[in-house]
Amino acid sequence: MISDMKPEDIVGDYRETVLTFYDGTRRKVLYTELETPYPDGKLIVSTTTPEGVIRQVNRAFVEMSGYSEAELIGAPHNILRHPDMPAAAFKDLWETVQRGEKWQGYVKNLRKDGGYYWVKATVIPNVRGGKVVGYTSVRRKPSRTRVDECAKLYPTLR
């Protein structure tokens, strides 16, 4: 389960909406127009279970998401889902990695404080002894040109 976002965590003016995930669960999200720039030279790294539950995060993940490590471990990865992201992108992600292939795309992530940050994300299945035991996701600083393209494209896909 994923808890609703709380007004006391939000920095700045916010809007409110309810997201419905692929498994039918819902989350109230509060989001602002404040962007946190991706830091130079860093990678955000996490691993999840085959069901997408976060198992491991690095320090950059904690810093950029605004959540503590304890809040992240055991939470579904869609704790970062921003309402501006089209569901089709994540459907494609899951279908790709479940086929055992690598997925790459530009993603607008939602912070605990309601702000957002853009990443270039790569997700690969962790294959051990021929079996998928989870996924590794690595996010890096995206090109501004590609972010601007996606910011225009994604609303048309929702």
Partner 1 sequence: MTFLFTVSPDFAPDRLSGWYIFNTWLQKQTGTAIHLEMYNHYQQLHQAIEADKIDLIYANPYDAAMLVRNKGFLPLAKAQGQADEAIIAVNADSSVRDVADLQANSRVAFTDDPDVRLMGMIMLEPADLDAGNIVPVLADTHVLVAKHLLKGEADAGIILAEAYDNLSGVIRKQLRVLVRSQISVIHHALMVGPRLQAKRGEWRQVLLDMAADEKGRGVLAALGFDGWQTIDDEEMEFMIDLMDTLNT
114 or 142: whose CB is closer to partner 1?
142
Residue from 34, 60, 62, 73 touching partner 1 (CB under 8 A): that is: 60
Q: How far apart are CA 71 and CA 74, in angstroms?
A: 8
Q: If we measure between CA atoms, which residue out of 142, 77, 74 comes closest to residue 104?
A: 142
- Segment 29-48, which members bind partner 1 (CB under 8 A)? 38, 40-43, 45, 47
What are the φ and ψ backbone dihedral angles of 49, each rounded to 5 degrees? -75, 170
6 or 144: whose CB is closer to partner 1?
144
Tally Cβ neighbours within 10 Å of residue 36.
16
Residue from 104, 149, 153, 155 touching partner 1 (CB under 8 A): that is: 104
* Tokens 């055991």 -> residue: 74
What are the φ and ψ backbone dihedral angles of 18, each rounded to 5 degrees? -115, 125
Residue from 29, 141, 150, 154 touching partner 1 (CB under 8 A): that is: 141
- Residue 155 CA: distances (Å) to CA of 88, 96, 145: 11, 22, 17
Of 25-33, 68-76, 88-96, 138-146: span binding partner 1 (CB under 8 A): 138-146
Residue from 52, 105, 115, 142 touching partner 1 (CB under 8 A): that is: 142
DSSP assigned state of 8: G
Using CB under 8 A as the binding criterion, the count of chain residues that bind partner 1 stands at 28
Q: Is 81 in the site for partner 1 (CB under 8 A)?
A: no
Least separation in angstroms between CB 120 and partner 1: 7
> Taken in order 133, 139, 65, 84, is the CA torsion positive or negative?
negative
Beta bridge partners of 31: 15
Catalog residues that contact partner 1 under the rule CB under 8 A: 38, 40-43, 45, 47, 58-60, 102, 104, 120, 122-124, 126, 128, 136-138, 140-146
